[in-house]
Amino acid sequence: MNAVTEPLRPATASPVAAGAVADRLFKGVTLLMALSVFVLIVLIGYELAHQSTLALRKFGWHFLTSSDWDPVSEQFGALPFIFGTLVSSGIALCIAVPLSIATAVFLTEIAPYWLRQILTIFIELLAAVPSVILGLWGVFVMVPWLREHLFPWLRGTLGFLPLFTGPIYGVSMLAGGIIIAIMVLPIITSVSREILRSVPNLQREAAYALGATKWEVTRIAVLSYAKRGLFGAIILGLGRALGETMAVTMVIGNRPQIVASLFAPGYTLASVIANEFTEATSDVYLNSLFEIGLVLLGVTVLVNALAQLLLKAFAGLSNQTQR
Amino acid sequence: MEQTHHRRRKALNACMQGFTCLCAFLVVAPLCLVFYHVLKSGIGSLNWAFFTQLPKPVGEMGGGMANAIVGTFELLGLAALLGVPVGVLGGIFLSEYGSVRLNWAIRLGADVLNGVPSIIWGMVVYALVVVPLKRFSALAGGIVLGTIMIPLIMRTTEEVLRLVPNGYREAALALGIPQWRTVLQIVVRTALKGIVTGVLLALARVAGETAPLLFTAFGNRYWNHHLSDPIAALPLQIFNYAISPYEDWHRQAWAGALVLLFFVAAVNVGVRVLTRDKFAQSR
């Protein structure tokens, strides 16, 4: 009996067993690759913190509140860069948010279909333009135009505000803000467009049935329904704005100072890393730049996580309603 | 009374529609301006020498960016070696395996990673690769671009795999095909075009990355002969020439920008045309 059954068993069992092993192996490999996401997150945080030990020890919290940036006497403080990053991103959002949400409304509610497709392709192309090319255009085309036309006009009409006073160089905080605005426009627009598209049609139909005009439908039924998602889109744009590097570095003027005038040159967290990292001569200097990276990472991760949570919450909401 | 109220509402409606239309064109305007200026300033400097010669020393006219063009493709190749397998396999896990909660966390992690400024990747790879090897290298440049690609490809792969109908998986499993072969030979093959699209878009995205290359690949005025030597890249060269004080270098920067922009735009538009064909067939 045994002699008969024994050779049979391996013959039938082994392919199944081999399949099970291969199955487990394949699943394990894909799991490992997926988990690399967490490995990378931990790795970035650890490496930046580790590399900035010297600066963390030497300056402590003072690093965030001091505005000295003096490589010669090895005094480093990040405040002018934090200020520059916040102000340039703030300018960018002031310009980009109304424009991109209005564009998203145009693309989902108003434009004829053929125009929607063309504009969508254009907007995705704008998102694909490399930062360095936008910077090149900024330096040689936009900045001279700002210096000759827009800035003098702004000083003439709004000069009573401290924001628009002082000498005009061209390269400036405002130029940096405008270039960042151009970079985040396509992101906010395309995410907002997705959000408006996911608003259930029942919402619109209900408002139309009450006799609302197209704009009233958009305002009452679409925008107010989507406001949490749109907020997520804006925060996502903020995350991108904070981390923009090349184009900003080329047009912002790169001077670490805190002044009210938007015509004055500024400096951002990302730009100072790009400009000074390969020139950092002392360990403390290099460590301070790593700490700047750590600050930038902390802020962008928080902002992005918030944006993703808002967007995911909105996606859940609109799925529920559609069901 | 009723009449004027009605008229005011209609007027507001027209106003707001016009306003959104105006905004849409304002958003598209920078794109047109950038394309126009890059084309106008770059086309005159594009010649045979630009594609075949090394950069000339300061003061000498002419020369080209042959090393930077080749260097960019070399870096993209290295990046793909790292980014494509990790990204695609991770995407497969997200779509085919795992639990709701774990995958939610991985997805959130990937989305957060996508938002990490690229210059930070440059610093991390500098600390992990450049410092131990004691030199800037093509390898470090490839690693940094590859790492940036991982979360991008993971998310696009997952999304296209989830479009494959469950019936395909069930049919294959019912025939006794092991799950790993079902995934690779049925699910992945069905969605292959979408995966390739995602990979190409990710490559086009990192092809223009400059910041992370500043202190990894570093740039090189000559040919790169070894992976452990610094390597030139098109975006780096454009940046260095743009901030230089020399007129002739500015001219070359525009030409480089034209080549890079053409490549990026061609991939983006090409991919779109390909996917549209697919939709046309399925309709």
Contact assignment for B27 to A189 by CB distance below 8 Å: yes
Q: Which domain, by its residues, includes B123? A: 67-233
Contact assignment for A111 to B21 by CB distance below 8 Å: yes
Helices A227-243 and A269-276 meet at what angle, rounded to 10? Answer: 30
**Chain A environment of B30 (Cβ under 8 Å):** 126, 182, 185
Tokens of B109: 């992690």
Tokens of B126: 């500098």
Contact assignment for B93 to A27 by CB distance below 8 Å: yes
Contact assignment for B92 to A30 by CB distance below 8 Å: yes
By the 10 Å C-beta count (0-12 exposed, 13-18 middle, 19+ buried), B57 is classed as exposed
State the smallest CA–CA distance between residue A132 and chain B in angstroms: 6
Task: Give the DSSP H or E segment for B204.
Answer: helix B192-207
CB pairs < 8 Å spanning A and B: 269
For chain B, first and last CA: distance in Å? 52
Contact assignment for A243 to B118 by CB distance below 8 Å: yes
Q: B12, B112, B236: which to substitute to probe chain A, counting the most A Cβ within 10 Å?
A: B112
SS3 of residue B55 by DSSP: strand
Q: A12, A14, A24, A36: which to substitute to probe chain B, counting the most B Cβ within 10 Å?
A: A36
Contact assignment for A37 to B109 by CB distance below 8 Å: yes
Q: Is residue B51 part of a domain?
A: no
Query: What is the percent of chain A where pLDDT is above 90?
Result: 80
At A89, which amino acid appears?
A: S
Q: A37, A52, A124, A297: which to substitute to probe chain B, counting the most B Cβ within 10 Å?
A: A37
Q: Is residue B273 part of a domain?
A: no
Q: Is residue B152 part of a domain?
A: yes
At A119, which amino acid appears?
A: L
Report residue A276 CA to chain centroid gap.
23
CATH number listed for the domain at residues A64-322: 1.10.3720.10
Rounded CA-CA distance B71/B89 in Å is 27
Return the minimum-mean-pLDDT range out of A8-17, A101-110, A150-159, B188-197: A8-17
User: If we measure between CA atoms, which residue out of B271, B254, B93, B125 comes closest to residue B199?
Assistant: B271
In chain B the beta strands, taken as DSSP E runs, fall at none
How confident is the model at residue B5, as a pLDDT? Answer: 87
pLDDT of A281 higher than 90: no
Tokens of B118: 């690229």
Rounded CA-CA distance A273/A245 in Å is 9
Region of residue A258 (left: phi > 0; alpha: psi -120 to 50; beta: else): beta
State the smallest CA–CA distance between residue A185 and chain B in angstroms: 7
Residue the block writes with tokens 């309603």: A321
Question: Using the 8-state DSSP alphabet, how is residue B188 labeled?
Answer: I
Residue B83 CB contacts under 8 Å (≥ 6 apart), including other chains: B145, B146, B147, B148, B149, B150, B152, B153, B202, B206
* β partners of residue B55: B63
* β partners of residue A69: A76
What are the tens digits of pLDDT across the range A21-79?
889 999 999 999 999 999 999 999 999 999 999 999 999 889 999 998 988 888 899 99
Q: Is residue B185 part of a domain?
A: yes
ipTM higher than the 0.95 cut:
no
Contact assignment for B27 to A103 by CB distance below 8 Å: yes
How confident is the model at residue A320, as a pLDDT? Answer: 72
**Among chain B residues, CA nearest to A236:** B115
Q: Is residue B174 part of a domain?
A: yes
SS3 of residue B97 by DSSP: coil
- For residues B1-30, one letter each, b for 16 or more C-beta atoms within 10 angstroms of the residue's C-beta and e for the rest, the string is eeeeeeeeeeeebeebbeebbebbeebbeb
Rounded CA-CA distance A275/A279 in Å is 8
Point out the residue among A51, A274, A304 whose CB comes nearest to the CB of B112.
A304
Contact assignment for A139 to B111 by CB distance below 8 Å: no
Point out the residue among B178, B208, B268 whose CB comes nearest to the CB of A19.
B178
How confident is the model at residue A16, as a pLDDT? Answer: 63
Q: pLDDT tier at A288 (50, 70, 90 boundaries)?
A: very high
Mean pLDDT of chain A: 90
Contact A268, A88 (CB under 8 A): yes
Q: What angle do CA A298, A302, A303 make, to 5 degrees?
A: 115
State the smallest CA–CA distance between residue A160 and chain B in angstroms: 28
Distances (CA, A) of B191 to A137, B95, B161, B179: 38, 12, 6, 16
Rounded CA-CA distance A184/A145 in Å is 21
Per-residue three-class SS string for chain A: CHHHHHHHHHHHHHHHHHHHHHHHHHHHHHHHHHHHHHHHHHHHHHHHHHHCHHHHHHHCCHHHHCCCEECCCCEECCHHHHHHHHHHHHHHHHHHHHHHHHHHHHHHHHCCHHHHHHHHHHHHHHHHCCHHHHHHHHHHHHHHHHHHHHHHHHHHHHCCCHHHCCCCCCCCHHHHHHHHHHHHHHHHHHHHHHHHHCCCHHHHHHHHHCCCCHHHHHHHHHHCCCHHHHHHHHHHHHHHHHHCCHHHHHHCECCCCCCCCCCCCECCHHHHHHHHHHHCCCHHHHHHHHHHHHHHHHHHHHHHHHHHHHHHHHHHHHHHHHC
Contact assignment for A137 to B238 by CB distance below 8 Å: no
Q: What angle do CA A42, A316, B111 make, to 5 degrees?
A: 25
Q: How many CA atoms lie within 13 A of B198 on its CB side?
A: 24
Q: Is residue B41 part of a domain?
A: no
* β partners of residue A117: none
Point out the residue among B113, B119, B272 whose CB comes nearest to the CB of A273.
B119
Question: pLDDT tens track of chain B, all 283 residues?
Answer: 578 888 999 999 999 999 999 999 999 999 999 999 999 999 988 888 889 888 888 777 778 899 999 999 999 999 999 999 999 999 999 999 989 999 999 999 999 999 999 999 999 999 999 999 999 999 999 999 999 999 999 999 999 999 999 999 999 999 999 999 999 999 999 999 999 999 999 999 999 999 999 989 988 888 888 888 999 999 999 999 999 998 889 999 999 999 999 999 999 999 888 776 554 444 3
Contact assignment for B208 to A130 by CB distance below 8 Å: yes
**Chain B environment of A125 (Cβ under 8 Å):** 31, 265, 268-269
**Total domains, chain B:** 1
Report residue B206 CA to chain centroid gap.
4
Q: Is residue B252 part of a domain?
A: no
Q: Is residue B80 part of a domain?
A: yes
How confident is the model at residue A15, as a pLDDT? Answer: 58
> CATH number for the domain including B112?
1.10.3720.10
pTM score, two decimals? 0.92
Q: B21, B123, B262: which to substitute to probe chain A, counting the most A Cβ within 10 Å?
A: B123
* For range A95-109, the mean pLDDT: 96
Rounded CA-CA distance A230/A235 in Å is 9
User: If we measure between CA atoms, which residue out of B113, B116, B182, B124 comes closest to residue B154?
Assistant: B113
Contact A252, A88 (CB under 8 A): yes
What are the tens digits of pLDDT across the range A169-218?
999 999 999 999 999 999 999 999 999 999 999 999 999 999 999 999 99
